[in-house]
Chain A
């Protein structure tokens, strides 16, 4: 019974997370400002990270958590680069 509950909740979580990704994607497709797009991409990354965690829970291995860890540790780099580009017009001065 608990396995079924876990299975269903994971599926539900995945659907909701991908829906959230869809919303974030909507933001960076529509904009309207460049800042919205960057925030959208950051949200997208966070949701993807959580999605990887749910994959890990379902398969029962820690390998997926590492992919999530990579996003957690380095996912911000893209956001920072984009933000810096907006703020200063170039990424590395």
Chain B
């Protein structure tokens, strides 16, 4: 397998694993863990395998044409930087999977957890491997989505839901900003390909769009990496299960923002704008996070703010813009991932074994879990930057960079002091973590009796701490080559000289480290009493909550403004809505004509008007007007009139040489009449005498305005049609279809060939919409509660029922049976006849008027006729009508036909055509489009019958309800 394909495998494996885990039974936690673990280990294997091929410096690429017309390709690209991140994602991922196996409770749906975790892993790998900026943003948003699912995994708790929603809102919005920023970059460079972007530094920096693009991209990175002022989502994400926190806040999620900054660092950094945007954000985050972390009472809260602080440190380093600072940033990213993952896992173990994470309750745990305590101490030492552990070396590099001169500004000059202060804070909170949890008097009132965890639960921490020590003691032997590879990936030019030694002699950074450690101890001792008082949160900043501001903004946007907008612009009544829509339509349709001055009829001569046609239209027009006039108060009359107008339309189609349209329209007309009648039963009754005398002037005015609007629209449409038809037909698409319908589609019914062949994909979409509409009607009617006055049986039925009951030799239901005797017989016998008609319309649809749609409607009429003749109960006892199955089969048939052409190597929905000789029938055209049409047919039958039956069932339901209530009385 080539290296490029391996990349694709590494990207796809987590997603495939995620899908597989999603299908596991709810309590198969071992299987899910093994699946997830093997995916992660395979990922590590691929990363290690590919390491050798990175030695010569050229990135490994995988390339697939995606949207060549837009210059977009699906590219995977692995350079040193991406390699390091991929290794972190898979490596920490494998350990987190192992840890989660023991952490997650038997009661939780663990396969779902692993499914989300794997999908998240895949999205992260997607970010680091993307060779294309758009693709990167896509995976970026995927991580937002899956982190939402992971943080909200325990969705039964409100805080988990809130935390998840906040994380999604903040990072998702940032992702949108990033997308715009990336589009700007693409505009500047002319390509989204990362290789090309990386070569265009001068182009980007000198562009006018540089600052907007920079700001937008930074917004994306800062929200993801929880930089001030967007840091507030991260502590709330701590409601996630601890393995999630360990994964998201050490090696992944928040590091995505860092990765993005690094990825674009070569082309965007080094300018004043970059320095003054990134450095202050990083610095404030570094100090604020560390300061707040000291005062946390929740173990994971402390780690969360410490994470924020360390992310600030890395951002600050990247902001400085010097290559050495970038090296330090990469190194610290690696170190932070390792020690923070182990600390989160330790916190999870403490939570798991004692039942609490509250620092006020925990103390003296060293007695009960000495090994975990020792491991946590080493990791915390790394967090504080104590020598011999990995955090020390990268912190030294940070201090050295803080001292070094960059822009010479006040901010730059003051950095050493701020850096030392941050060091002091980090020592203080690390001390608090260790001393508060593991030392002191034995704990009282813990929910569980603490003890050491299962060995394999502790194993990931042991491994990570070992790595911490190895990097801390012999850095150049262990991490040196890896770091060199990553640096080569980041900096194209020769990397700067840096030394990974533990001892650099007595220099300024070492002094700063010593001051920070001493200061941290002093600060901890000084604050000890305050912290033991048990107050939550830091002084001064306590009342200033990011979450509250966030919620307030959200409430303003999505509630107050939305309500105000609805109150001023919206209405719940149909009339004003129609008025606005139609007026706008009139204006929008008229505007271009008036603007272009092209109003006027063409000069084509009119066709002579046959007298019959004129009369027909007169009748039709009267029907339409009458229907509109009667619509409000005489619905039945209006329905009959609409039927008349509809029929005139059908005859018009026929008269104007479109018999196929006439047939289809006729069928629709018949179904519509039945449908409207079914609905008529449930409409509320007319309120007589709303206005006792004359309606007030306001009402009259409104009616006349509405009439004017309606006439204007109708007249305008007619005028438009007339203008169009009196002009010569210019080059239109119909010629194309007329010429090719037979030669390429094999049918002479052009409409049908267009529907099932040329524009088969459109038809596909339309039948899906029909399917959805049918299902929606069905779903809505299941919840339908009729108006109180329409619940009781119609008057006619009550009278006939009373007559049947009162007459001695009759039983209830006789009257309707007598009335329907002859019609019922005829209608039963007509069922096969109509069905044959449907088959006929269907079979010859490809060449002559007809087709799946018309046939489907015909067959559904056959069904409805049975319902009308014998009632719902009888029909459903004698005939298996399963509209949902018809619809399902129809949709599947159409899809399968479309996909069938893939089998022969043609694009979706390519149709094949030939004549087939059938015994007795003769030569029959057989196109694969016919099978597609069969799907359309089945779906139309299903959807129409579903809607009609759903309406018909209302009578059954309400009569049942009426009987029940009578029985109750």
Contacts and interface: CB of A to CB of B under 8 A. Distances in A.
Contacts of B644: 25, 28, 41, 44
A70 B616 contact: no
Nearest to A16: B612
B947 to A, nearest CB: 12
A51 B872 CA distance: 36
A82 to B, nearest CB: 7
A66 B865 CA distance: 20
A80 interface: yes
| Chain B facing A: main interface SS | helix
B654 A52 contact: yes
Contacts of B830: 73
A91 B623 contact: no
Contacts of A51: 612, 616, 651
Interface stretch (B266-274, B278-286, B655-663): B655-663
B871 interface: yes
Given A55-B655, A74-B861, A92-B871, A81 B643 contact: no
B659 A92 contact: no
Tier of interface size on chain A: 35 or more
9 contacts: A18-B619, A52-B651, A67-B662, A70-B663, A73-B837, A77-B670, A78-B674, A85-B681, A93-B797
B561 interface: no
Per CB-CB distance, the 5 closest pairs between chain A and chain B, nearest first, are A89-B794, A14-B612, A92-B952, A18-B615, A63-B659
B674 A91 contact: yes
Given A25-B622, A48-B651, 13 more contacts: A11-B611, A28-B641, A29-B622, A37-B636, A38-B640, A67-B666, A73-B837, A74-B858, A77-B673, A80-B868, A92-B951, A93-B797, A93-B816
B673 A22 contact: no
B795 A89 contact: yes
A66 B868 CA distance: 25
Interface in B679-699: 680-681
B784 interface: no
Contact of A45 (B619, B647, B674): B647
Contacts of B951: 92
B650 A19 contact: no
A93 B871 contact: yes
Nearest to A71: B666
Nearest to B820: A84
A70 B666 contact: yes
Contacts of A28: 637, 640-641, 644
Contacts of A48: 647-648, 650-651
A88 B816 contact: yes
A45 B610 CA distance: 21
Contacts of B952: 91-92
B673 A81 contact: yes
Interface string A28-54: 110100100110110011001001100
Contacts of B640: 28, 37-38, 40-41, 82
Given A48-B647, A92-B678, A66 B612 contact: no
Contacts of B833: 73
Q: Identify which of B637, B647, B662, B868 gathers the most chain A CB atoms within 10 Å of its CB.
A: B647
A40 B626 CA distance: 14
A74 B796 contact: no
A6 interface: no
A92 B861 contact: no
A80 B619 contact: no
Contact of A31 (B637, B659, B834): B637
Interface string B617-658: 011001100100000000011011101100110110011010
A92 B623 contact: no
B539 interface: no
B570 to A, nearest CB: 35
B796 A89 contact: yes
B12 interface: no
Nearest to B871: A93
Contacts of B666: 67, 70-71, 74
B411 interface: no
A36 B237 CA distance: 72
A69 B433 CA distance: 88
A14 to B, nearest CB: 3
Contact of B834 (A61, A74, A82): A74
Contact of A92 (B636, B800, B867): B867
B303 interface: no
Interface string A2-15: 00000000010011
Contacts of B25: none
Contact of A63 (B677, B680, B819, B849): B849
A88 B654 contact: no
A11 B610 contact: yes
B28 to A, nearest CB: 48
Contact of A64 (B654, B864, B868): B654
A19 B615 contact: yes
A85 B640 CA distance: 12
Contact of B868 (A38, A89, A92): A92
A11 B610 CA distance: 8
Given A78-B670, A78-B674, A22 B618 contact: yes
Contacts of B637: 28-29, 31, 34, 37
Contacts of B677: 81-82, 85, 91
A87 interface: yes
Contacts of B654: 52, 55, 64, 67
A29 B655 CA distance: 24
Contacts of B641: 28-29
B865 A77 contact: yes
B577 interface: no
Q: Identify which of A29, A51, A55 gathers the most chain B CB atoms within 10 Å of its CB.
A: A29
A29 B629 CA distance: 11
A89 B790 CA distance: 11
A40 to B, nearest CB: 7
Contact of B650 (A67, A77, A80, A87): A67
Contact of A90 (B613, B618, B681, B834): B681
B795 A80 contact: no
B796 to A, nearest CB: 5
Contacts of A86: 796
B21 to A, nearest CB: 48
B963 interface: no
B602 to A, nearest CB: 27
Contacts of A25: 619, 622-623, 644
B955 interface: yes
B663 A66 contact: yes
A74 B610 CA distance: 28
B451 to A, nearest CB: 70
A37 B794 CA distance: 20
Nearest to B837: A73
A64 B651 CA distance: 10
Interface in B67-121: none
B446 to A, nearest CB: 68
A70 to B, nearest CB: 5
A8 to B, nearest CB: 12
Q: Identify which of B640, B667, B837, B951 gathers the most chain A CB atoms within 10 Å of its CB.
A: B640
